[in-house]
Amino acid sequence: MRILIVEDDSLLGPGLKTGLAQDGYAADWVQTAELAEHALRVEHFDVAVLDLGLPGRDGLSLLRDLRAHGLKLPVLILTARDTVADKVAGLDAGADDYLAKPFDLDELTARIRALTRRGSGHATPILRAGALELDTQNRCLSLHGEGLQLSPKEYALVETLIARADHVVPRARLLATGHSWEDQLESNALEVHIHHLRAKLGKQRILTVRGVGYTLVSNPSS
Amino acid sequence: MNSIRHRLLISLLVVWVTIWIAVAFVSVERSNHEVGELMDAQLAQTAHVLRQITLAGNLPDVVSTSQALSPVGHAYESMISFQLWRDGRLISRFGAAPDEPLGHAPGFSNQDIADTRWRVFGLKSSDAGEILYVGQSYAIRQELIEYLTLHALRPILWSMPLAVLLIWLAVTEGLRPLRRLRSQIRHRSAEQLDPIDMHSIPVEIRPLTSALNELMKRLDRALSAERHFAADASHELRTPFAAIRTHAQVAQRSKNSQEREEALTQLIRGIDRASHLISQLLILSRLHIRVREGQAASCSLAGAAAQVVEDKSTIAQAKNITLRLTTPPGEDALVDIPPAPLAILIGNLLDNAIKFTPAGGQVRVSVMARSHHLLLQVLDSGPGIPAVDRERVFDRFYRPIGQSEPGAGLGLSIVRRIIDLYDADIELLDAETGSGLLVEVSFHRSA
C-alpha cells in the first residue's frame, strides 16, 4: 500500500516515512501543496496523510482542490490545529479522518488501515477471496486456514490484488504498490515476485492478462 | 478622608454660613438704624402730643416718681418718660425721668444722667420759658432691638440642621452617576473589557470614563496578544513534539540497529529543536513584559557587535563562511539599549545571515557612525528575501515558502520586538552586489 505524506516539517516527515515503512507501507514524503498535487496527478497512492499548516498554500485549500477535481483517495489530516472548529473544517473540506499532533504511530497506521478498508468497500480488517484470507491488521495471509509466510513486497502485492479480486489489476499499479520513489521495482522484478507468490498460493490463483496486468482468482478451476 | 462628598459638604456649608453671617450682620445693622429712626420719630410724636395737652392745660402739675405702669399694655412698650420745665422749674414729670433736666436745648440729643444714657427730644412750648423733654433710656432701646433681631434670626438658625441635611442629600444625588459607574465597573469580570457605555455618563466624568475605556482597550489588546501568543506557542510546539514522539516510536519498534541509530539521532535533533523553540519563546515572552523604566542602560554598539561576532565565529567556520566585522575607527559610541537585548538582536540577525548563506559564502557586520544615530549592517551572500515577504518575515512563526532551513520562525520577531521596545529602526534591503540580504538597524545615540 502506498501512502503520500504531505508535511513541511523536515524532522517529522522522514520520521513518518520510516515509521510507516516499518509497518510495510511504502510512503513518499513531500513538503508543499504544489509537490503533493503533482505527485497525486502522476502516480497512484492509496492514502494521503496531510498536514494543514503548509508553507504557502494551505493544506485545506489543497484538499478542497483535490476533491473538486474528483480525487477520491482517502485523506487523513495530521495537524497541530486541534479545536473542534478545525476538525469540522477539515472533515467538511473532504478529509476522511483527522488526527492531532502529537500522535501515536500505531494509532496512525490503524487509522490508515481503516481508511483503505473502507475505501475498498470492506468493513473488517479481513479480506477474503475464496479460501484465501488476508488479515490486514496482523499482516498475515492464510489459505484454507493455514498461515503462509510472505515477504513485505509479496504482502503488498497480495493486498492490492485481493482488494480487487477477480478483476485485472494493471501492471503499473502493481509496480507502484508497496514501493516508494527510492525503491521502485525493476520491471522484471514484478514477475519474480508473482512467480514466488504462485509457488505459495498455487499456479491457477494468479492469472496473467497479457499486456495489461494480473488477476487474483477467488475460486481457481483446479 | 479624601472624599468628594465631604469636601463638597464642607465647602458648601462654609460658603453658606459665611454668606448667612454677612447677611445677618448687614440686616441687623440696617434694622438697628431703622428701629432707632422709628423710635426717634416716636419720641418726637409723643412730644408734640404732650405739648398739645399742655397747651390745653390738662397736664397735672407734678406726677409721682413711682408712677407704675398699667398692667394692660404691650411687651414692646417703649417706656417713654417726659419732663415739663417752666422757667427752670420742673413742673411735670412721667415715667422714669430723673429730677435733673433731661436735656438742655430743643431737638434730639443724648444725655448721660447718673448711670443711664438717655435719648432725648426737646420741644419749646408756645409759652416762652416752657420746655418739654421726652426721653427714653438707651437700655430699653437696645433691649427692644435685640429682641427684634433675635426673633428675625432665630428661624434661620433653626434651619441650619435642615440645610446640612438638604445639602447632604443634594451632594449624594449629585454623586449618583459616580456610584452607578463604580458599580458597573465593580460587577465586571476580569475578561469583560468592552468599553463602558458613554450614553448615560455626565459630562464631568466623561474624560475619566473615556480614559478608562482607553485603558481597557489597551488591556484587551495586550491580553489578546498574550492569548494569541500562548495559543501560537503551544501550536508551534506540537509539531516538534510529534516528530520527537514519532522518532522515539520508530526507534522502539526498530529491529534493525542502523535504523534505530538513525531514529535516535533524529530524536536528539528533535529535542534540540524543541528546546531552541522554547528558549526563543521564553526570550520573546520576557520581552513582552519588559518594563522600560529602571532598565535604562546603554552600551557600546561596536563592543556588543564584536562580542557576538566572536561567539558566532565557530558556527561560521563550520560552514566555511567568512565572517568579518568593521567598526568606526577611534569612536566608541553608546546606544540606549541594555547589553542583553542588544546581544540577542545582533545574535539573531547574525544567526539568520549564517544560516541562509551557502557554504563558502560571506557575512559582513559593519557598525557605522552617523551624526544623530548609529547604524548596524549585516550583509550576507545568501538568497535574500523577496520584497513580498519582507514585512511578513517579522511575524511570529512565519517561514517563507520553500525555506528548507530549520527554525522556529521567531528570530526576526524577537528582533522586531527589541527594535520596537528601544525605538530603533530596521530595514531589509537588497545587497548592492549579489543576491544577498542587507539588514540595516539604526539606533539612537545615547545622550
| B327 in the same domain as B269 | no
Which B residues, 386 through 425, put their C-beta within 8 Å of a C-beta on chain A?
Answer: 399-404, 406
CA distance to partner chain B, nearest, from residue A9 (Å): 8
Sheet holding A206-209, edge to edge: A168-170, A213-216, A206-209
Do the Cβ atoms of B249 and A106 come within 8 Å? yes
Report B:207-236 residues touching A (Cβ under 8 A): 235-236
323-352 in chain B: CB under 8 A from chain A = none
**Residue B138 has what pLDDT?**
84
The minimum CA-CA distance between B289 and chain A, rounded to whole Å, is: 27
What is the bridge-based pairing of β-strands A140-143 and A132-135? antiparallel
Do both B160 and B24 map to the same domain?
yes
Name the burial class of residue B302, with classes exposed (0-12), middle (13-18) and buried (19+) by CB atoms within 10 angstroms of its CB.
buried
A82 to chain B: closest CA residue: B235
A-chain residue closest to B256, CA distance: A22
- Within 8 A of B238 by CB-CB distance, chain A residues are 80, 82, 100-102
* Residue B217 and residue B130 share a domain: no
User: Which pLDDT does position B66 carry in this prediction?
Assistant: 42
pLDDT digits (tens, 9 = 90+) for B325-353: 988 887 778 888 888 888 889 999 999 89
- Closest CB to A55 among B238, B249, B403: B403
Put residue B246 in one of left, alpha, beta given phi > 0 → left and psi -120 to 50 → alpha.
Answer: alpha
Confidence of residue A182 (pLDDT cuts 50, 70, 90): low
Q: Please give the Cα distance from A4 to A22 (Å, whole number).
A: 15
Q: What is the per-residue pLDDT for B67?
A: 47
Q: Position of cell 519588559?
A: B290
Final residue of a domain: which of B288, B316, B336? B288
Closest CA to B362 of B430, B407, B316, B311: B316
DSSP state of B69: P
Report the residue from B250, B262, B269 with minimal CB separation from A19: B250
Closest CA in chain B for residue A30: B402
Q: Which of A119, A141, A166 is the last residue of a domain?
A: A119
Of A84-98, B186-200, B349-363, give the lowest mean pLDDT range.
Answer: B186-200
Q: Which of B249, B262, B400 sits opposite A55 (nearest CB)?
A: B400
Contact A11 B238 (CB under 8 A): no
Determine the length of chain A.
Answer: 222
- All residues of chain A having their beta carbon less than 8 Å from the beta carbon of residue B247 are 11, 15
Summarize the confidence of residues B24-48 as an average pLDDT.
Answer: 87
CA A36 to chain centre: 16
pLDDT higher than threshold 90 for residue B441: yes
Q: How far is A42 from chain B (nearest CA, A)?
A: 22
Regarding whether A132 and A92 lie in a shared domain, the answer is: no
Q: Which of A11, A18, A81 sits opposite B273 (nearest CB)?
A: A11
Neighbouring C-beta atoms of residue B429, cutoff 10 Å: 15
B250 contacts A15? CB cut-off 8 A:
yes
B22, B129: one domain:
yes
CA distance B401 to B281: 22
Predicted TM-score of the model (pTM): 0.58
Search chain B and give the residue with CA nearest A22: B254
Measured in angstroms, the CA of A56 and the nearest CA of chain B are apart by 5
- Interhelix angle A105-119/A12-22, rounded to 10 degrees, is 70
Q: Which residue type is seen at B328?
A: P
Final residue in a domain of this structure, among B143, B165, B187: B165
Q: What is the CATH number of the domain that holds B330?
A: 3.30.565.10
Looking at the structure, do residues B361 and B384 belong to the same domain, yes or no? yes
Number of domains in chain A: 2
How many pairs of residues across A and B have Cβ atoms under 8 Å apart? 78
Tell me, yes or no, whether B419 lies in a domain.
yes
Question: Do the bridges between strand A97-100 and strand A75-79 make them parallel or antiparallel, or are there none, so unpaired?
Answer: parallel
Q: What is the pLDDT of residue B105?
A: 83
pLDDT of B18 above 80: yes
Tell me which amino acid residue B102 is.
L
Look at residue A222 and tell me if it is in a domain: no
Where in the sequence is the domain holding B243, given as residue range(s)? 203-288
Residues with Cβ within 8 Å of B354's Cβ and at least 6 positions away in sequence, in order, are B312, B315, B316, B319, B321, B323, B363, B380
Most confident of A106-110, B277-281, B312-316: A106-110
* B304 found inside a domain: yes
Complex ipTM: 0.74
C-alpha cell at B150: 433675635
Work out the average pLDDT over B358-380.
Answer: 90
CB contact under 8 A, B403 and A15: no
Q: Which residue of A has its CA nearest to B252?
A: A19
Same domain, B282 and B312: no
**Cα–Cα distance, A147 to A137 (Å, whole number):** 14
Cα separation values, A94 from A3, A34, A67, B211, Å: 17, 18, 6, 49
Binned at pLDDT 50, 70 and 90, residue A110 comes out as very high
Mark yes or no for CB contact B250/A10 under 8 Å.
Answer: no
H or E segment to which residue B186 belongs: helix B176-186
**Is 50 exceeded by the pLDDT of residue B68?**
no
Report yes or no on A221 lying in a domain. no
Q: Tell me how many domains chain B contains.
A: 3
pLDDT at A77: 95
Most confident of A13-17, A200-204, B63-67, B158-162: A13-17
> What is the per-residue pLDDT for B249?
94
Mutation target among B239, B258, B398, B405 for the A interface, most CBs of A within 10 A: B239
Q: Which residues of A touch B243 (CB under 8 A)?
A: 9, 11-12, 15
Flag whether pLDDT at B71 surpasses 60. Answer: no
How long a stretch of residues is chain B? 447
User: Does residue A12 sit in the same domain as residue A61?
Assistant: yes
Distances, alpha carbon B150 to alpha carbons B38, B75, B141, B429, in Å: 18, 15, 14, 93
> Are the beta carbons of A9 and B250 separated by less than 8 Å?
no
Who among A15, A55, A106 is closest to B266 (CB)?
A: A15
In whole angstroms, what is the distance from residue B145 CA to residue A140 CA? 129
Window from A187-191, A214-218, B163-167 with minimum mean pLDDT: A187-191
By Cβ distance, the residue of B250, B399, B406 closest to A55 is B399
* Dihedral (CA of B379, B382, B388, B392) sign: negative
| Residue numbers of the domain that contains A152 | 126-216
Chain A residues at the B interface, defined by Cβ less than 8 Å, are: 9-12, 14-16, 18-19, 22, 31-32, 53, 55-56, 78, 80-82, 100-106
Closest by Cα among B150, B151, B147 to B77:
B147
Residue B372 CA, distance from chain mean position? 37
Task: Determine the pLDDT at residue B73.
Answer: 58
Domain boundary among A119, A141, A172: A119
Cβ contact, residue pair B240, A106, below 8 Å: no
Q: Do A18 and B253 touch (CB under 8 A)?
A: no
Which CATH number goes with the domain that contains A33? 3.40.50.2300
A157 and A110, same structural domain? Answer: no
Whether the bond between B341 and the residue before it is cis, its omega within 30 degrees of 0, is no
Query: Contact, B104 vs B85, CB < 8 A?
Result: no
- State chain B's mean pLDDT as an integer: 83
Per-residue model confidence (pLDDT) at position B439 = 93
3-state secondary structure of B134: strand
Percent pLDDT > 90 in chain B is 16
Q: Which residue of B has its CA nearest to A56?
A: B401
Q: Is the C-alpha dihedral spanning B228, B230, B232, B234 positive or negative?
A: negative
**A158 inside domain:** yes
Strands A2-6 and A140-143: what pairing? unpaired
CA distance B376 to B355: 19
Query: Per-residue pLDDT for B63 more than 60?
Result: no
Note whether B51 and B144 are same-domain residues.
yes
Query: Rounded to 10 degrees, what is the CA torsion of A60, A64, A69, A72?
Result: 80
Cell of B140: 430699653
